[in-house]
Amino acid sequence: MPDDIRVVIRSNLDIVTARQEGRALAARTGFSATDVTLIATAISELARNIVSYARQGEIVLRVVESANAKGVMIISRDSGPGIRSIDDAMRDGYSTSGGLGLGLPGVRRLVDEFIIESVLGQGTVVRVTKWLR
């Protein structure tokens, strides 16, 4: 997609860059201040997972349109170790890195659509979408 915004995630500084890009894109797309913050927070958590579990990856930000709605899609992609059990990872309180263990279920509550694909030894892709209402 030509208008995608890509942010390479290698360090904690890139997390800040990714959420600032996301905040700006969401505001340009017409989201309310509350939704802009929800989107920026979701980006922060997804980018944090890349740094914590996969060391590096990317966040792609994209404006999406359906027949009657407009939204922002955030794609988090890494070629890290992958997630052994997505069911476990989607449960509140589960963590394998000693963190708070509410990364992914929390992110799912911030957005409208949440799709995760992960292959052990190959990496993880999370696609989330927030629709403008």
Partner 1 sequence: MEVPILKQGHYLIATIQAALSDEDLLQLRRALLDRVIKFRSRGVVVDVTALDVMDSFATRTLRDITYMIRLRGADTVIVGIQPEVAFAMVQLGLTLEGVATALDLEEGLAHLEQRARSSS
- Residues 36-95 touching partner 1, rule: CB under 8 A, are 36-38, 40-41, 44-45, 48, 92
| Separation of alpha carbons 130 and 133, rounded Å | 9
Determine the distance from the C-alpha atom of residue 77 to the mean position of all C-alpha atoms in its chain, rounded to a whole number. Answer: 9
Q: How far apart are CA 106 and CA 108, in angstroms?
A: 5
Candidate ranges 14-22, 67-75, 83-91, 118-126; the one touching partner 1 (CB under 8 A): 14-22
Contacts of 130 (CB under 8 A, 6+ apart): 26, 31, 35, 38, 39, 42, 71, 72, 110, 111, 112
| Minimum distance from residue 42 beta carbon to partner 1 (Å) | 8
Q: Helix or strand or coil: residue 18?
A: helix
Nearer to partner 1, 65 or 124 (CB): 124
Nearest approach in angstroms of CB 23 to partner 1 is 7
**Judged by CB, which is closer to partner 1: 109, or 120?**
109
Site residues (vs partner 1, CB under 8 A): 12-13, 15-16, 19-20, 23, 33-34, 36-38, 40-41, 44-45, 48, 92, 99-100, 102-103, 105-107, 109-110
